[in-house]
Amino acid sequence: MIYFDYAATTPVDKRVIKSMIPFLNEKFGNPSSMHSFSSDTKKALEKSRSIIAKAIKANPEEIVFTSSATESNNMALKGIAFAKKSGHILVSSIEHDCVLNAAKWLGKNGFEVEFLPVDKYGIVDPKEVEKRIKKNTILVSVMHVNNEVGTIQPIEAIGKICKKNNIYFHSDAAQSFSKTPINITNIDLLTISSQKIYGPKGAAALFIKDGVKIEPLLHGGGQERGLRSSTENVPAIVGFAKATEIAISTMDKEQERLTKLRDKIIEKLTKEVPNCYLNGHKTKRISNNINVRFSHIEGEAILFMLNSYGIAVSTASACSSPKLEPSHVLSAMGLKQEEAHGSIRISLGRMTKESEVNYLLKVLPEVVKKLRDISPHK
């Protein structure tokens, strides 16, 4: 199988696995214990915190470890909302389901929630954010990079607007962390994840800027400075830190390599396959994402036929792909239902070879032609 679904999850790097092994057997102590068995795990936990903080130019005490980006996003939105007790929240209409559903839940529980529109490329206009801010706005949440179409949002401009208006700004950076630079100067809360950067599942973090007050979602033994009780998953956190070190050290070179492969795929498909169109912005997109639509055929049919050729792609976010309704991201961008249903996402990664891209570019046009030949929607 050839894997083109790195936006969903990534394989764990062998160097990451090696770093984790000692903490799965001999160094097993609970980092909150007081005896010598815990000293190694406590040191490893805090070293990992420092490594991840350094990657975004934050202070170690501003990093709170969680189990997933979903938990981090829920912690950010609900934590701010519960601390403020009331108010108006602005969320972009193309957020990951975990942000959208957390916001909708808050809307059912006393908070005023409003969803920001996007343009045809899936980009939020900072002027629209400023226009919709109210006197009681407490939080704005706009993701850095969209998980489906790969568009890069103008979070620096949005962050400046929030700072000027004394409003907290949260950004979900699960898709961008270690793939493109992130400036946290005007960001109050930032979500990052291990499984998107060749680290293990079960580890993520929320950057909470010093001075930002949030209410914890979990209550217990008071781990993570009382903000996230639960015994820390030290092996996964150590792996997360090692994955961060590797990804940050290779970011510029890898970004250049993947951008060339990305552009090769976009150019070949949109020029040589009839009625093939790019979803999202051509240049304001993350280096590893290609989202394209094909008229008159279903994206799921393309996915299944590619799978029979040994190629793995996706039709939407992995968290929402089993649903029958069209992608909320593509719908928010103004695509018709049939256009959204004819879309696939191809996402590249560290193990992607040019020979694999060439194979995809040979097979995919043939698959599209076969499906169109039998399609009733001509």
Looking at the chain, the whole-number percentage of residues with pLDDT higher than 90 is: 92
Whole-number Å distance between alpha carbons of 295 and 338: 8
Mean pLDDT across the chain? 95
* All residues at 6 or more sequence positions from 270 whose CB lies less than 8 Å from its CB, including other chains: 276, 277, 278, 292
What does DSSP assign to residue 225?
G
Q: Is the predicted pLDDT of residue 322 greater than 60, yes or no?
A: no
- Under 8 Å between Cβ of 78 and 70: no
What residue has token string 């100067």? 185
At residue 377, the pLDDT reads 66
| CATH 3.90.1150.10 fits domain 2-6+250-363 | yes
Whole-number Å distance between alpha carbons of 103 and 74: 9
Whole-number Å distance between alpha carbons of 279 and 74: 28
Whole-number Å distance between alpha carbons of 173 and 14: 24
Task: Return the minimum-mean-pLDDT range out of 242-246, 297-301, 319-323, 358-362.
Answer: 319-323
Average pLDDT over residues 233-260: 98
Separation in Å, CA 97 to CA 93, 100, 330, 349? 10, 5, 14, 23
At residue 323, the pLDDT reads 60
Name which of 263, 296, 236, 265 is nearest 48 in CA terms. Answer: 236
Name which of 275, 270, 337, 280 is nearest 119 in CA terms. Answer: 280
CATH 3.40.640.10 domain locations along the chain: 14-246
Average pLDDT over residues 269-298: 96
Average pLDDT over residues 113-126: 98
At residue 36, the pLDDT reads 83
Whole-number Å distance between alpha carbons of 312 and 277: 20
| CATH 3.40.640.10 fits domain 14-246 | yes
At residue 376, the pLDDT reads 72
Average pLDDT over residues 206-210: 98
**Residue 119 pLDDT grade (very low, low, confident, very high; cuts 50, 70, 90):** very high
Average pLDDT over residues 51-79: 98
CATH 3.90.1150.10 domain locations along the chain: 2-6+250-363
Q: Is 319 a catalytic residue?
A: yes
